[in-house]
């Protein structure tokens, strides 16, 4: 799990969604339906916020609900309801919410047409440049800086996976790499993995990088 975020670091629309009255009404309905103590309303809201902030894993939600007093045989159902209604709209900052529901064996009912909170939009090029700056990596010439942008872009558009990107970052400059240290490469990739969940990154339709075709015998 990545380092916990802070509420103030969340995109504005996500923060507003987490604090809206619909969330309170939803939590109150769960409390009333399952006969929980009134104080459980704030605890359910706290669980949702903690998942959004990365303080607890989404996968542990059923167990957390059992601790609140929901019967074990009901926890998957309730966790799935919470995920569909209050986590799926902000999946951009959480991850694969629907996939987790499936892993629980829960129901995706109600997922169709679920509106997502709007995340700030940024172009892939802008994000790549910002990632280099914010992760503390610097380049002495524009050629290497541009190469760094292209490598990051190829990772964002999934032309390279994380392992391939890492190898390219530490590879010699003479063969297309950047010669970053292991620490620098890991720091840059960690920044990208963390921050891309807060943004709607616009990936160009035309690929920036494509794997070369194998040589014909």
Tokens representing 46 are 């706290």
Q: Give pLDDT, residue 8.
A: 83
Q: Give pLDDT, residue 4.
A: 64
Strands (E), the chain: 121-123, 200-202
The DSSP H or E segment spanning 100 is helix 97-104
Q: Residue 201: beta bridge partners?
A: 122
Phi, psi dihedral angles at 164 (to 5 degrees):
-65, -40
Three-state SS letters, 166-188: HHHHHCCHHHCCCCCCHHHHHHH
Q: Give pLDDT, residue 35.
A: 94
Burial of 27 (0-12, 13-18, 19+ CB in 10 A): buried
User: What is the rounded CA–CA span in Å between residue 165 and residue 179?
Assistant: 12
Q: Give pLDDT, residue 141.
A: 86
Tokens representing 39 are 């104080």
- CB distance 104 to 79 below 8 Å: yes
How many residues comprise the chain? 217
Render pLDDT for 155-208 as a digit per residue (tens, 0 to 9): 988 888 999 999 999 999 999 999 999 999 999 998 888 777 667 777 776 554
Segments making up each domain of the chain, as ranges? 7-104, 121-202
The tens-digit pLDDT sequence of the chain (217 residues) is 555 678 888 888 888 899 999 999 999 999 999 999 999 999 999 999 999 999 999 999 999 999 999 999 999 999 999 999 999 888 888 888 888 998 999 887 765 555 555 566 778 888 888 888 888 888 888 899 899 999 998 898 888 899 999 999 999 999 999 999 999 999 999 888 877 766 777 777 655 444 444 444 4
Strands (E), 89-160: 121-123
Q: What does R_g of the chain's alpha carbons equal in angstroms?
A: 21
């Amino acid at each position: 799990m990545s380092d916990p975020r802070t509420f103030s670091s969340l995109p504005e629309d996500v923060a507003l969604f987490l604090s809206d009255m619909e969330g309170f009404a939803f939590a109150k309905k769960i409390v009333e339906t399952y006969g929980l103590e009134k104080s459980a309303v704030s605890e359910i809201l706290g669980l949702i916020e903690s998942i959004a902030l990365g303080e607890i894993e989404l996968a542990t939600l059923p167990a957390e609900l059992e601790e609140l007093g929901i019967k074990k045989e009901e926890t998957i159902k309730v966790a799935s309801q919470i995920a569909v209604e209050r986590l799926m709209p902000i999946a951009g900052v959480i991850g694969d919410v629907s996939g987790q529901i499936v892993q629980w064996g829960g129901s995706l009912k109600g997922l169709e047409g679920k509106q997502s909170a709007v995340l700030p939009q940024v172009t892939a090029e802008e994000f790549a440049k910002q990632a280099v700056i914010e992760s503390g990596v610097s380049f002495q010439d524009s050629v290497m800086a541009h190469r760094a942008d292209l490598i990051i872009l190829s990772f964002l558009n999934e032309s390279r996976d994380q392992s391939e990107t890492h190898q390219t970052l530490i590879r010699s400059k003479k063969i297309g790499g950047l010669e970053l240290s292991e620490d620098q490469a890991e720091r840059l990739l960690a920044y990208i993995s963390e921050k891309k969940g807060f943004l709607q990154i616009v990936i160009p339709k035309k690929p920036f990088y494509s794997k070369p075709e194998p040589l014909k015998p």
